Amino acid sequence: MYPRRRFTIALPGGRALELGSRTLVMGVINVTPDSFSDGGVLADPARAIGAGVQMVADGADLLDVGGESTRPGAQALDTAEERRRVLPVIEGLAREVSVPISVDTYKAAIARAALDAGASLVNDISGLRYEPDLAGIVAKHRAPIILMHTRGRSKDMYKQAVYSEVVDEVLDDLRESIAFAGNAGIGKDSVLVDPGLGFAKEPTHNYELLGRMGEFGDLGRPLVVGPSRKGFLTKPLAKELPASERDWPTAAAVTAVVLAGAHIVRVHAVREMIPVVRVADEIRKYHREH
């Protein structure tokens, strides 16, 4: 088990995100017709807003709204369509819930519109490598950003899943993203990091990252981890499971990352994962260094 530093992350509007005393749960709202996790059941804005309200009632500390599928093999989405999908949901949620809302996008134009519509932070799967202009938008709005690790694009990411030492290389890539953010005017205190489980990584890479997740504390930034319903979770099992049946394996991975010091876990099944996180947090209280 690894220690977990405490952070205060300033949000637009004078609010702040307190991290470290307990693990926060981020509920995932995929407003895409081809979502890997739920088959697009939240593509309707009203249904997506209702789902977000329910996630908050179930205990979610943050919500993450994404309009472009970034599953392996997915094609890029044009900006106009992504805007059409996410803005009504973010606007609706901003009226209905008090928890911070994150927009899951790598596009500068979408981030700008989402932050203006009520989002409080940006979750960039590319770590500022797809659209560097995104950094300027985030800096201007004084919003936090989650820098996730990946390589390549969704349609060919597995071609990039070649590592000599996966943990060291992911750490190095994230350090580069942090440096780029700083050079673009984003204060280090506004940066969170995500090792990008399932993105440009084979199953063995993901399990090594899970087993050594505590080493990401060396980056000195809050750690966000999203193992939820990822395909690699079925590797140790006797059979493949559809995404909707991967919540038990997800619970094991969530427990592991909480014990390793994650500050935020990103999950699809909030109601089911809240007890998992709370028990893992309780275990953390009684750990003693030897």
Where in the sequence numbering do the catalytic residues fall? 230, 266
How many Å apart are CA 115 and CA 120, to the nearest integer? Answer: 6
CA atoms within a 13 Å half-sphere pointing along the CA-CB vector of 83: 13
DSSP E strand stretches across the chain: 7-10, 16-19, 24-30, 62-66, 101-104, 121-124, 145-148, 191-194, 224-225, 264-267
Amino acid of residue 69: S
From the CB of residue 125, how many other CB atoms can be counted at a distance below 10 Å? 22
Burial (CB < 10 A; 0-12, 13-18, 19+), residue 286, is: exposed
> Token pair for residue 161?
């899943």
> Token pair for residue 200?
């440009």
Contact of 63 with 25, CB cutoff 8 Å: no
How many Å apart are CA 117 and CA 254, to the nearest integer? Answer: 31
What DSSP string runs through 240-281? ---GGG-HHHHHHHHHHHHHTT-SEEEES-HHHHHHHHHHHH
